[in-house]
Amino acid sequence: MALGLIFFFSLCFTLCFAGNVSYDSRSLIINGERKLLISAAIHYPRSVPAMWPELVKTAKEGGVDVIETYVFWNVHQPTSPSEYHFDGRFDLVKFINIVQEAGMYLILRIGPFVAAEWNFGGIPVWLHYVNGTVFRTDNYNFKYYMEEFTTYIVKLMKKEKLFASQGGPIILSQVENEYGYYEGAYGEGGKRYAAWAAQMAVSQNTGVPWIMCQQFDAPPSVINTCNSFYCDQFKPIFPDKPKIWTENWPGWFQTFGAPNPHRPAEDVAFSVARFFQKGGSVQNYYMYHGGTNFGRTAGGPFITTSYDYEAPIDEYGLPRLPKWGHLKELHKAIKLCEHVLLNSKPVNLSLGPSQEADVYADASGGCVAFLANIDDKNDKTVDFQNVSYKLPAWSVSILPDCKNVVYNTAKVTSQTALVEMVPDNLQQKDGSKALKWEVFVEKAGIWGEPDFMKNGFVDHINTTKDTTDYLWYTTSIVVGENEEFLKEGRHPVLLIESMGHALHAFVNQELQGSASGNGSHSPFKFKNPISLKAGKNEIALLSMTVGLQNAGSFYEWVGAGLTSVKIEGFNNGTVDLSHFNWIYKIGLQGEKLGIYKPEGVNSVSWVATSEPPKKQPLTWYKVVLDPPAGNEPVGLDMLHMGKGLAWLNGEEIGRYWPRKSSVHEKCVTECDYRGKFMPDKCFTGCGQPTQRWYHVPRSWFKPSGNLLVIFEEKGGDPEKITFSRRKMSSICALIAEDDPSADRKSLQEAGSKNSNSKASVHLGCPQNAVISAVKFASFGTPTGKCGSYSEGECHDPNSISVVEKACLNKTECTIELTEENFNKGLCPDFTRRLAVEAVCS
């Protein structure tokens, strides 16, 4: 959702799309003009069409020029090479048209292998079962289908006139993806494949350049690019190529059972500033909006349904503050430097042991300087052109005129916010709060006719071919009356080994226990006492996948499912069931009948109840209800459920699993931005559910009569399921008098003087809201952070009234730190700040 609050910095380059895209060693050249480009990854299947215009608009308001997306092969050809799907979330052409209508460029990463924490890396599962196929090497089948799909996409783009050479927004295309990491494992076949992929792509004659990311032997016909947390030291293979950063990771993905990696806004900004300081020309945030892995699209395995990625726009479409705003200010500062950066060569100056300046000066007298302090512990004061500048540790200051600092990466002056998930009680379609649940219980084991029988085990994935997460392995064992454990009341122990990913064990229709792997190790072992009776005992083991492998050498051959089943505790020792006769059933009965869809919901006999069963495994729940109030984004709160799948009106919300995350020594409440970031540097949410809320797009709701269907695998409490609305509960800002501002007008007014523009606080509410109250305001020496500010030793008592006068009942407001507003006589020996917290409604 776009914020009306912040002064709109237009990237208003006039996009005359028709024309030529070329490049040299410095930059892309579009219609004869050099471009310095900020790009934002937004994946069309990870949001819904109703969200696309606002996502693109928010990206543009954040100072972005380009939208980047992969093309996801397996959503367009899910079941066979003869069928193509481009409807709903998969309407690639519609998405690109929305980007073009916004006046922005697009980078199309066709791949068609994408990795992306996406199921099977984006390659259709059916291709693995074309006899003789090996992925991503010099293999005839793989190359045939890869070229066929790539050609289809290119022809579709040409038909719709979407390449820049046709007047469209697509300025770059990508083939393959990060293959350099794995090429060596394929030997000479890998080298031949990489060269073939580049040649195949270039032969498509799109009229725009092709790129290959992390391809360390890319041929000269394509541009090799960088993916990393930092790419300032990256150099293209060939001297005639521009320096392009295809993936700057502003956060990281999350797996079920793991804490949440947190990358501070200051470090993201530092990495971007350093890239442009060192001659970069195109920088893409992966992700700028991560979105949601709806349905069963998450890969990994174990990737969460949320693909929030701690991106500048959150999973629900709201700007993540202050990250979004801090980067917006960075983009403004960089754009002030664009002409000089692209038309001059830098001179590097040492300013200290870990401090340096890169100075760009063009023939017209323009001058730009980046002052960097890469010391990750100590702030420094440096002398540059006979002026002293304070540089916080691990920061870059940008001087568009080589005099005035308009931005420092470590000083966050943009608005921040507190965001909450506000519960909204589920209501029946008649408005009553007493929900009328209906229940259908699956049989543990074989429902209907068995699919097949076999002595021993089969691979889970090869059996289901990923048509479902579920595969039943069932057998039976006869227990004699003379077994000592029966006489003594002891329990034998069931021992299971599995390649992954998860399992529920049933004996005689009763759940005995569950086990699973995790995001770093899929295989697991199960060891649990079980209840056996004299006579025949049915053993039913529900094996589950949690997304397929999405990357790695020969990753398509990674299997899942049971490898050993034993029971210890018999008179004669341990009984090995591994080579027993096993009966197999693929999937669930409810899945097969489509009872989660409005058209299939009546395929079984549901049992109505006002008190649905709790902690009951293998249970389908359905209820008809009204949408939540308001227009805020919606999440489904599944804190009190176990593990399963959810749908609304037949749309796939996805896998839910509020599995608690591990407690890690690097769990923090505050993350030190200084120093190089890695995914394990700063964890948050330790000991909490990995994912509690599951995004349900507003566009999926009808005005009334919405069908919510839940399949619960191991047991939960459906009466505690609620919808929650994602709301900004408070908006805040904290700024010091000497903080820089990326403002062109103030820079021009400063002229040859070395002075910062007037510091000011900018506040703004989400769409359709106004500032209704000021909870805190203090000019002086306030301390704390948003939600917990407090007055310091020095405080102007008029602070609240000044802010209220400027902001109340307005969508956005600006408060300058001037003598007209505040008592500048306060605290002359301190750096004075203004802290504000307000409420939007």
Query: What string of DSSP letters covers 262-326?
Result: ---HHHHHHHHHHHHHTT--EEEEEEEE--B--TT-B-BTTB-SB--TT-SB-TTS-B-TTHHHH
Q: Number of H helices and number of E strands within the chain?
A: 14, 44
Helix (H) or strand (E) holding 55: helix 52-61
289 vs 43: CA distance, rounded Å: 8
> What's residue 15's pLDDT?
46
Q: Is the omega angle on the peptide bond into residue 322 within 30 degrees of 0, that is, cis?
A: yes
Q: Which two tokens stand for residue 351?
A: 């300013």
Q: For residue 754, how many other CB atoms are within 10 A of its CB?
A: 16
**Residue 431: is its pLDDT beyond 90?**
no
Contact (Cβ atoms closer than 8 angstroms) between residue 46 and residue 801: no
At 118-128, the pLDDT tens digits run 999 999 999 99
CA neighbours within 13 Å on the CB side: how many for 225? 28
Cα Rg for the chain, rounded, in angstroms? 29
At 651-708, the pLDDT tens digits run 999 999 999 998 877 898 889 999 999 999 999 999 999 999 999 999 999 999 999 9
Contact (Cβ atoms closer than 8 angstroms) between residue 731 and residue 815: no
Q: Residue 764 pairs with which residues in a beta bridge?
A: 812
At 786-807, the pLDDT tens digits run 999 999 999 999 999 999 999 9
What does the pLDDT average to over 491-516? 98
Residue 427: pLDDT band by 50, 70, 90 thresholds?
low
Contact (Cβ atoms closer than 8 angstroms) between residue 547 and residue 302: yes
What is the residue type of 64? V
834 vs 839: CA distance, rounded Å: 17
Residue 17: pLDDT band by 50, 70, 90 thresholds?
low
At 205-229, the pLDDT tens digits run 999 999 999 999 999 999 999 999 9
User: CB burial class (10 A; 0-12, 13-18, 19+) of residue 105?
Assistant: buried
What does the pLDDT average to over 194-203? 98
Check if 449 is active-site: no
At 560-576, the pLDDT tens digits run 999 999 999 999 999 99
* Window from 242-251, 432-441, 588-597 with minimum mean pLDDT: 432-441
Q: Is the omega angle on the peptide bond into residue 679 within 30 degrees of 0, that is, cis?
A: no
Residue 3: pLDDT band by 50, 70, 90 thresholds?
very low
> What's residue 16's pLDDT?
43
For residue 774, report the phi and psi dihedrals to the nearest 5 degrees.
Answer: -110, 110
21 vs 173: CA distance, rounded Å: 12
Q: Which two tokens stand for residue 837?
A: 């917290």
Q: Which two tokens stand for residue 697?
A: 């797009």
**Residue 195: is its pLDDT beyond 70?**
yes
- In what side-by-side order are the strands of the sheet with 33-35? 21-23, 28-30, 33-35
> What's residue 154's pLDDT?
98
769-799 in b/e form (b: 16+ CB < 10 A) is bbbeebebbbbbbbebebeebebbebbbeeb
What does the pLDDT average to over 27-50? 98
Contact (Cβ atoms closer than 8 angstroms) between residue 550 and residue 488: no
Q: For residue 599, how many other CB atoms are within 10 A of its CB?
A: 8
**Residue 139: is its pLDDT beyond 70?**
yes
* Rounded to 5°, angle at Cα 232 from 227 and 238: 75
Q: Residue 762 pairs with which residues in a beta bridge?
A: 814
Average predicted confidence (pLDDT) for the chain: 94
Q: For residue 575, how many other CB atoms are within 10 A of its CB?
A: 15
**Residue 495: is its pLDDT beyond 60?**
yes
What does the pLDDT average to over 408-429? 90
Identify the residue with better confidence: 823 or 595: 595
399 vs 756: CA distance, rounded Å: 11
Calculated CA dihedral for residues 296, 299, 301, 302, nearest 10 degrees: -60
Helix (H) or strand (E) holding 496: strand 493-498
Check if 247 is active-site: yes
Residue of 194, 288, 195 whose CA lies nearest to 250 = 288
**Residue 756: is its pLDDT beyond 80?**
no
The contacts of residue 494 (CB under 8 Å, 6+ apart) are 505, 507, 512, 513, 526, 527, 528, 529, 530, 539, 565, 566, 567
**Residue 443: is its pLDDT beyond 50?**
yes
**Residue 131: is its pLDDT beyond 90?**
yes
What is the residue type of 249? W
> What's residue 758's pLDDT?
75
Q: Residue 540 pairs with which residues in a beta bridge?
A: 474, 506
Q: What is the DSSP string of 315-358?
A: TTS-B-TTHHHHHHHHHHHHHHTHHHHHTS-EEEEEEETTEEEE
Q: Which residue's entry shows tokens 């540790």?
A: 393
Helix (H, G, I), strand (E, B) or coil at 25: coil
**Residue 5: is its pLDDT beyond 50?**
no
Among residues 61, 176, 247, 266, the one annotated as catalytic is: 247
What does the pLDDT average to over 627-647? 97
What is the residue type of 286? Y
Helix (H, G, I), strand (E, B) or coil at 724: strand
**Residue 7: is its pLDDT beyond 60?**
no
Q: Which two tokens stand for residue 619?
A: 């249970």
> What's residue 711's pLDDT?
98
What is the residue type of 327? L
> What's residue 743's pLDDT?
64
What does the pLDDT average to over 264-285? 98
595 vs 602: CA distance, rounded Å: 7
> What's residue 271's pLDDT?
98
**Residue 18: is its pLDDT beyond 50?**
no
**pTM given for the model:** 0.95
What does the pLDDT average to over 262-272? 98
100 vs 98: CA distance, rounded Å: 5
**Residue 313: is its pLDDT beyond 90?**
yes
Contact (Cβ atoms closer than 8 angstroms) between residue 458 and residue 578: no
Q: Residue 641 pairs with which residues in a beta bridge?
A: none
771 sits in the region (left: phi over 0; alpha: psi -120 to 50; else beta) called beta
Distances (CA, A) of 25 to 22, 419, 745: 11, 44, 32
256 vs 184: CA distance, rounded Å: 31
Q: Which residue's entry shows tokens 């990995």?
A: 690
Residue of 202, 235, 245 whose CA lies nearest to 110 = 202
Among residues 68, 176, 178, 713, the one annotated as catalytic is: 178
DSSP state of 33: E
169 vs 153: CA distance, rounded Å: 15
The β-bridge relationship of strands 607-609 and 437-441 is antiparallel
> What's residue 826's pLDDT?
87
Residue of 254, 576, 574, 630 whose CA lies nearest to 421 = 630
Residue 647: pLDDT band by 50, 70, 90 thresholds?
very high
Q: Which residue's entry shows tokens 């060939």?
A: 238
For residue 514, report the phi and psi dihedrals to the nearest 5 degrees.
Answer: -140, 160
> What's residue 748's pLDDT?
57
The contacts of residue 143 (CB under 8 Å, 6+ apart) are 193, 196, 200
